[in-house]
Amino acid sequence: MTRKVILLILIFLNLSTIFFFSHQSAEKSGALSDGLSHQIEIRTPDYETKNQVEKNMLHVTWRKQVRRLAHVALFLSLGVLVSLFLWDGSFSWGRTAGGILFGVLCSFGDEIHQLFVPGRTFQWHDIGNDILGYFSGMVLCGLVFGMLSFRKWRFSKKAK
C-alpha cells in the first residue's frame, strides 16, 4: 500500500475513535472519566489522610483534567496524521490552510454530533481543547519537517 493510503486509513480510524467517544451517553462518558480520575486520585500523596470535601475537590479537578487531556490527545494524533498526509517534501500555505480547516471542521462536527447524543451538549471549551491538540500536532510535525529539510539542505551544500 502506498503511504497516502495507509495515512488515510489511520486518519479514518482516528476519526472513528473520536466519533466512538463522542457518541457515548453522558452517563457512560462520565463513568469512564470518573474511573480514570479515581485511579489517579488514589495515587495522590496523602490521599488517605484527606477529608471527604478535599477528596471531592481533588476528584473534580482530576476529572476535568482527564477530559481535557482526552480531547487534546485525540486531536493531537489527528493533527500529526493529517500533517503527514499533506507533507510532500515542501511547505505549502494552501495545504496548511486546508489542513487547519479540516481540523476545525472536525472539532465543530464532533460537538454538533454530541447535540444528538442523550445527555451530551455542545461545549466551546471542548472545541478549544480539540483545536489546541490539533494545532500542536501540526506544529510538532512542522518542526520535525523543518529540521529534516534543513539537515538535508545543509548536507547537500557540504557535498558540493
Structural domain spans, the chain: 3-29+75-159
Mean pLDDT calculated for residue range 129-146 = 94
- State the average pLDDT over residues 127-151: 90
pLDDT 10s digits, 38-50:
899 889 888 889 9
Q: Output 90 or 132, whichever has higher pLDDT.
A: 132
SS3 for the chain, per residue? CCHHHHHHHHHHHHHHHHHHHHCCCHHHHHHHHHHHHHHHHCCCCCHHHCCHHHHHHHHHHHHHHHHHHHHHHHHHHHHHHHHHHHCCCCCCHHHHHHHHHHHHHHHHHHHHHHCCCCCCCCCHHHHHHHHHHHHHHHHHHHHHHHHHHHHHHHHHHHHC
Q: How sure is the predictor about 152, in pLDDT bands with cuts at 50, 70 and 90? A: low
Of the candidates 155, 148, 16, the one whose C-alpha atom is nearest the C-alpha of residue 83 is 148
d(CA 39, CA 95): 41
Residue 91 pLDDT > 70, yes or no?
yes
What pTM did the predictor assign?
0.85
Sign of torsion over alpha carbons 112, 117, 118, 120? negative
Residue 108 above 80 pLDDT? yes
